[in-house]
Chain A
Amino acid sequence: MNEALERLERTVLHPLTHTTMTYRIVVLALAAVAGWGLYAFSIQMRNGLVVTGMRDYILWGLYISNFVFFIGISHAGTLISAILRVTKAEWRVSITRMAEFITVVALTVGGVFPIIDMGRPDRVPSILWFGRFQSPIVWDILAISTYLTGSAIYLFLPLIEDLAICRDKLPKTLSPWRRLFYRVLSVGWRGTDSQKKSLFTAMGIMAILIIPIAVSVHTVVSFIFAMTLRSGWNSTVYGIYFVAGAIFSGIATIIIVMAILRRAFHLEEYITSKQFVYLGYMLGAFVLIMAYFNLLEFLVPGYKNEEGEGFLLQSMLAGKYAWMYWAYIVAGLGIPAFIILNPRTRNVKGLVIASILVNIAMWLERFLVVVPALDVPLLPREAVTYVPTWVEWSIIAGAFAEFSLIIAVFAKLFPVISIWEVKEQMEQKEHVAAEAETSPATTHGFGERAKTSPFGT
């Protein structure tokens, strides 16, 4: 057993001290794409939003849809890891860290998009000086900054013990600033009983607190749309529909990131197909939930076929945006459902493919939320089409590169698996197994028994 614990530390800490050539190349490539995005943004700053495809009628485009998408995938993390922590699902321990990374990074990247979309990004501080509580944008800023603060704390708390491990176990050859980094961040952790007790209390509070905060965030994001009088947006289902979509794309993002880091850092022993399959089940459940919301979203207004709603429905189901909508339905709901339901494809490879499809589809879905509703004419005006420019595409590509880049850098600075939690679980299992051997009658609780049972998981 001791050997297993040592192997765990060795495997998880290895990437923190060893950098492969592939990693360098990937980071360089990502930095180049992010730099290109930055260059595109500098052009936009100089010339204004005229360099985008947005105009007075279709006044929001890729930036706002990307904002909604990234805030959506931020629900990966904290919400899932918190819900699983609160419900004590033991299989979560090896993946919560990655999930929490995704949350913090996605919020940081996504939160910038409303600013990129602004005509006067230089006046962002005005929101602080003149902010009005009546505006959904101010609700957004409050919700997102609260969520970012909360999820940063929630990422940090379970990290403390691992940072102490980094401080104590990493070789002395580490650069002095890295040593200082771990020493400062491990906030004097010694693993005493009183420290553990207060840490667990704090973690328990945060795990419960973060759930309503996460739900509120995407509800409030939907309010930017739902608080207007436009067809499609003028909807009461939007809040919960956005939250469901967020968790849906969040789960898919965890599966993708998990697969990449597992392959890159050889974590197959800790992230097994079990984690993938269980997340796959959650993904499958959300396929159904999303399908249900899509039905509601169209059936209810479609039945009445009010003028604007009818126009929107027509453009989505059979008109200008039909290819996107049906791509979303087929690639985002149909194929993933098939992959998850079929036991032969319900494996790591299949689920990663399903997750990639889900994320592409959810990105399209976010676009379909923003643009077609703006395309519904409020006056008998000439028809217009929104065609994103290279500047917009470059900034979007830059954002995805930046997202991956920060995750890559995080993975070099922090253990991507919660060492102490996996360790604790291993010890507990050992303990329970030993106890069961001597006197099976003393084993308590269904969960514990299932774990030691030969028929168990």
Chain B
Amino acid sequence: MELTRRELLKWLGATGIAVTAASYIPWLGKSASAEQATTSGTQTTRLRRWSMVIDLKRCDGCIGLKTSPQCTQACIMGHQAPVGMKWIEVFEFKRELGGSYFMPVPCQHCENAPCTNVCPVGATFSTPEGVVLVDQTRCIGCRLCMAACPYQRRFFNWGDPQVPPETRSAKYDLHRQVPAIKGTVMKCSFCVDMARNGSVPFCVAGCPRSALWFGDLEEDIATNSRDIVKLSRFMAENEAFRFKEELGTHPRVYYLPGHGQNVGRNPYQTGLLPASWPWGGKK
């Protein structure tokens, strides 16, 4: 078999073209993404812009009630979350000159979300309403989104998730994240499926101090399931800020500064209690 220069070059050329072409195939055949599927649930033509306000003046981490933080607990119970996952978690932030304040931290639902930017398969994405979700049937478990999240609000099913046994056989639901799937990432979904049906998220409903507000920036209204406020005015009057605002992530979660003074906590009181999972343990 004599190989001429022309033939050899032809072969090399063909190989080069084939390799280049092969690497583009995935983007040619890219199918409708999960993003489009989620918009169909919205009934109105106006687009909701779901948002949360957390009034730190009213948050004492539930230490005054001698219970574990009830937002975390309500979230765990409502979502039947795997053991160890606190999609909303209360942290005690110490002040440099003494004292501290409690801050419940759910997923911040960033408008410029670092996590969705890096996902290689589009398993995590922002819906048009501004909610960041994870499709656990698509997630490959690379955890780059967890590395990218500056708020550490993403959780991984390292092993078989410890969940109530009855949820295991359920049909997969993107919003409820049930059943939990081994080797995939989970997180707070803003309970957006419930919001669309007119109810507030589990954590908001579960807060005994009514410190959590849920609302819609588009309609400019929010509720803590007791009172209703005009959202923009409420935030302006109370010095609302966003967590790590300097990063440019544009969170949809706003905080009103405080240390639980409105529910009788002095800044030196401490002692968060661990949350518990009836189907597994305490953490």
> Could you say which of B147, B160, B247 has the most chain A C-beta atoms within 10 Å of its C-beta?
B147
Report chain B residues within 8 Å CB of A120.
139-141, 183-184
> What are the interface flags for B1-34 relative to A under an 8 Å C-beta threshold, 1 for contact and 0 otherwise?
1111110110010010001000101110111010
A285 at interface, CB cutoff 8 A = no
**B105-A379 in contact (CB<8A):** yes
Q: A118-B140, A126-B121, A135-B118 are in contact. Are A59 and B93 (CB under 8 A)?
A: no
The 8 Å CB contact of A187, one of B3, B30, B33, B117, is B3
Give complex CA distance A52, B9 in Å. Answer: 48
B-binding segment of A79-87, A193-201, A243-251, A288-296: A193-201
Q: A48-B160, A126-B121 are in contact. Are A60 and B147 (CB under 8 A)?
A: yes
B92 at interface, CB cutoff 8 A = yes
The 8 Å CB contact of A129, one of B31, B105, B118, B150, is B31
**B93-A127 in contact (CB<8A):** no
A202 at interface, CB cutoff 8 A = yes
B142 at interface, CB cutoff 8 A = yes
**B147-A130 in contact (CB<8A):** no
B148 at interface, CB cutoff 8 A = yes
Quick one: which of A102-160 are within 8 Å of B by CB? 114, 117-120, 123-124, 126-138, 141-142, 145-146, 149, 153
B-binding segment of A6-14, A224-232, A314-322: A224-232
Give complex CA distance A379, B123 in Å. Answer: 25
Give complex CA distance A198, B93 in Å. Answer: 69
- A selection of 16 A-B contacts at a CB cut-off of 8 Å is A55-B158, A59-B143, A114-B142, A119-B140, A119-B142, A119-B156, A119-B185, A130-B122, A130-B138, A135-B118, A146-B23, A190-B2, A195-B4, A201-B5, A229-B150, A381-B152
State the total of A-B contacts with C-beta under 8 angstroms. Answer: 175
> What are the interface flags for B126-164 relative to A under an 8 Å C-beta threshold, 1 for contact and 0 otherwise?
000000000000111111101110111011111110000
**B140-A138 in contact (CB<8A):** no
The 8 Å CB contact of B140, one of A51, A126, A194, A227, is A126
**A374-B147 in contact (CB<8A):** yes
A: interface residue count bin: 35 or more
> Could you say which of A59, A117, A153, A374 has the most chain B C-beta atoms within 10 Å of its C-beta?
A59
B94 at interface, CB cutoff 8 A = yes
Give complex CA distance A49, B161 in Å. Answer: 12
Residue of A nearest to B93 (CB): A380
A189 at interface, CB cutoff 8 A = yes
A56 at interface, CB cutoff 8 A = yes
Report chain B residues within 8 Å CB of A123.
121, 138-141
A57 at interface, CB cutoff 8 A = yes
Q: How far is the CB of A332 from chain B (nearest CB, A)?
A: 25
Report chain B residues within 8 Å CB of A439.
none
Give complex CA distance A118, B5 in Å. Answer: 45
Q: How far is the CB of A209 from chain B (nearest CB, A)?
A: 10
Give complex CA distance A136, B143 in Å. Answer: 12
Give complex CA distance A124, B138 in Å. Answer: 10
> What are the interface flags for B30-74 relative to A under an 8 Å C-beta threshold, 1 for contact and 0 otherwise?
110100000000000000000000000000000000000000000
Quick one: which of A7-55 are within 8 Å of B by CB? 47-52, 54-55
The 8 Å CB contact of A56, one of B31, B146, B160, is B146
Those 5 A-B pairs whose CB atoms lie nearest each other, nearest first? A119-B141, A119-B183, A50-B159, A198-B5, A188-B1
The 8 Å CB contact of B19, one of A52, A146, A381, is A146
Give complex CA distance A194, B33 in Å. Answer: 52
Q: How far is the CB of A316 from chain B (nearest CB, A)?
A: 18
Give complex CA distance A123, B122 in Å. Answer: 13
Quick one: which of A419-442 are within 8 Å of B by CB? none
A378 at interface, CB cutoff 8 A = yes
Give complex CA distance A312, B114 in Å. Answer: 21
Q: A137-B118, A228-B114, A228-B118 are in contact. Are A201 and B9 (CB under 8 A)?
A: yes
Give complex CA distance A263, B66 in Å. Answer: 72
B230 at interface, CB cutoff 8 A = no
Q: Residues of A at under 8 Å CB distance from B?
A: 47-52, 54-57, 59-60, 114, 117-120, 123-124, 126-138, 141-142, 145-146, 149, 153, 187-190, 192, 194-195, 197-199, 201-202, 224-225, 227-230, 374, 378-381
Report chain A residues within 8 Å CB of B4.
194-195, 198
Given A120-B139, A225-B147, 14 more A-B residue pairs with CB atoms under 8 Å apart are A48-B159, A56-B154, A117-B143, A118-B141, A123-B139, A130-B30, A130-B33, A131-B26, A132-B120, A136-B144, A153-B15, A195-B4, A228-B114, A380-B91
**B118-A48 in contact (CB<8A):** no
**A224-B144 in contact (CB<8A):** yes
Give complex CA distance A23, B215 in Å. Answer: 71
Residue of B nearest to A51 (CB): B159
**B158-A48 in contact (CB<8A):** yes
Report chain A residues within 8 Å CB of B196.
none
Give complex CA distance A374, B247 in Å. Answer: 18
Q: A48-B159, A129-B26, A135-B120 are in contact. Are A379 and B151 (CB under 8 A)?
A: yes
Give complex CA distance A31, B119 in Å. Answer: 36
Report chain A residues within 8 Å CB of B30.
129-131
> What are the interface flags for B229-269 relative to A under an 8 Å C-beta threshold, 1 for contact and 0 otherwise?
00000000000000000010100000000000000000000
Quick one: which of B75-114 are within 8 Å of A by CB? 84, 91-94, 105, 114
Give complex CA distance A229, B1 in Å. Answer: 57
Report chain B residues within 8 Å CB of A134.
117-118
